[in-house]
Amino acid sequence: MQVGGWVLAAAVPVGFAAGFLGSLIGIGGGAGMVPLLVLLGVPVKVAAPASLLAILGTSLGGLRGLLRRGMVRWRLALLLETASGLGAALGVYIHSMAPEAVLRLLLGGLLLASAPAVVSRAEAPDRGPGGWRGSGAGRLALAWLASLAAGVVSALLGVGGGVLKVPVLVLVLGLGVKEAVATSKLMVGITALVGVVGYLASGSLYAPLGLALLAGTYTGAAVSSRLLVAMRPRRVAVIAASYYIAAGLAMLRSGLRAMGYLR
């Protein structure tokens, strides 16, 4: 599918906004990019693969500085990404068979479900760098299964899966909010990379759109990562949750219209 030049031009600021917000709250930003691209007339099956490529920018932008500060629990991230990578591969396979309307409904449901999780995460106490409740095998197993589901959601809907990963890191494993955001930043990039490789192999990735988004997400993430250390996340989380609710309702309405239930 060819995308108009004006859509490619609009993709850069869309990517910047998604990368800026996504880096602040530990998500890939696909939950912001895909709905906006759909509203611009891009089908979900084109927007989702392009969004995954752009999520690499959200992950990489400013990541080195967070690693230097010790905010990224990279060993834990690699462990959980064994599950997310497997889930992403499964999501790519399911994506090729899923109808457009169903994908819109799923995306809308994900956005609405993530809104309270984002706000509740902002209110969680920051335990500071260091310990996490990972000594229990049960907690790790639960986190691994949740990461598997996040990987499926990531590839299927073109989101980074951070809306699922950050609450798991905080509520299940006990990381502080900032640690969870920084660790999720690395995780969503790994998950997205698996999905991008799958879409490249299947010929489903429209590279010009993905690269335009990538230019924006990398820049936005690099800027916002500098704010993460000092900024209180609650205000940003409330803004993000408000967007999720509005965009989720819009996607549900779009999906129901595509299925003929609404006019």
Matching residue, tokens 């990379």: 193
73 conformational bin, left if phi > 0, alpha if psi -120 to 50, beta if neither: beta
- Is 2 inside a domain boundary? no
Domain range for residue 36?
A: 7-258
Query: Averaged over 41-67, what is the pLDDT?
Result: 88
Using the predicted structure, report yes or no on whether residue 132 has a pLDDT greater than 50. no
Using the predicted structure, report yes or no on whether residue 13 has a pLDDT greater than 90. yes
| Residue 97 pLDDT grade (very low, low, confident, very high; cuts 50, 70, 90) | confident
257 conformational bin, left if phi > 0, alpha if psi -120 to 50, beta if neither: alpha
Coil, helix or strand at residue 69: coil
- Is 87 inside a domain boundary? yes
| Residue 2 pLDDT grade (very low, low, confident, very high; cuts 50, 70, 90) | low
Q: Which amino acid, one-letter code, is at 105?
A: L
With pLDDT > 90 as the criterion, what percentage of the chain qualifies? 19
Coil, helix or strand at residue 263: coil
CA 112, distance to chain mean position in Å, is 14
**Domain count across the chain:** 1
- Is 263 inside a domain boundary? no
Nearest residue to 221 (alpha-carbon basis) of 47, 56, 72, 33: 56
Query: Averaged over 132-141, what is the pLDDT?
Result: 69
Coil, helix or strand at residue 46: helix
